[in-house]
Structure formats: C-alpha cells, structure tokens
Amino acid sequence: MIGLMAKLMALVLAAIGVLHTIWATGGTWPAKDERALAHMVAGFRDRDRMPSEPLTIAVAMALFIAAFWAIAMVGGLGNPLLTVGGAVIAAILILRGLAGFTPQWRALTPQEPFARLDRLAYSPLSLALGAGFVVLVLWRLA
C-alpha cells in the first residue's frame, strides 16, 4: 500500500513538473496565451507574464526530484538521508499549502483565477502531497 501511495505521489509530482517544463519552453496549455496562463498559475498582482524560464525550469527540476524521492523512499534503500530529505520535502509542501490560506499570500497573489484555483486545488494538493511525505517519513522510521 505504501508503494502505491509513493507511486501516485510521484506521478502527480512528475505531471506537474512536465507542465512547468512546457511553460518554461513557451507553452501556454491549458490557457490560451501567456497572460491568461500567468493569471491562472502565478497570480501575482499586476503580473501579465510568466516567471522567467530559469525559475520555471528550477521549479520543474524540484518537482522531478521530489517525484524521484517519493519512489526512492520506498525502494528499500537504507540511506537515512532519504528520510531527512523526505522530511524537508514534506515541510516545503506543507508550508506552501498552508500559505495559500493566509491573508499575506492572498495579498501577494490576488489575481483571478489563480486565487480561486489556489484555494480549491493548488494549496490542498500541496498539503496532501506534504502529508504523503510525512507518511513516508514515518513509515521509514517505523
């Protein structure tokens, strides 16, 4: 069961990483243009352009690493750094998820439809993935 959970987490993280890679290379799916995409996935006040290519590639790489990490944590490797790394990933994801529900984050990212999508999907997904990493960490420590 833990292996299936890790695979599902890895699939979701890798899919989001693929989206970031597409955006970094100029793709705008699922939006019609860059402005609409920036409003959908970045949400920063008065921002009509996507973040820079290097920044978006860095996010994609972090997502791919997290996807690999989820699989590696159940892969039978005894390295304690996998557990520590999993805890760090859990903390980052949980903090990102919680941030989406704070007035400070909403003041930084009021653009619609991002603000609505963040409350309904992005932040809850970050919390769920963070919780999954907590489960993986606890499983490794058991």
Confidence at residue 79, expressed as pLDDT on a 0 to 100 scale: 86
Positive or negative CA dihedral for 58, 59, 61, 65?
A: positive
What is the structure's pLDDT at 41? Answer: 97
Predicted model pTM: 0.95
Q: How far apart are CA 109 and CA 4, in angstroms?
A: 34
Model confidence pLDDT, tens digit, residues 1-55: 999 999 999 999 999 999 999 999 999 999 999 999 999 999 999 899 999 999 9
Neighbour count for residue 3 (Cβ, 10 Å): 11
State pLDDT tens for residues 73-115. Answer: 998 677 899 999 999 999 999 999 999 999 999 999 999 999 9
Taking 90 as the threshold, does the pLDDT of residue 140 lie above it?
yes
At 101 the three-state DSSP class reads coil
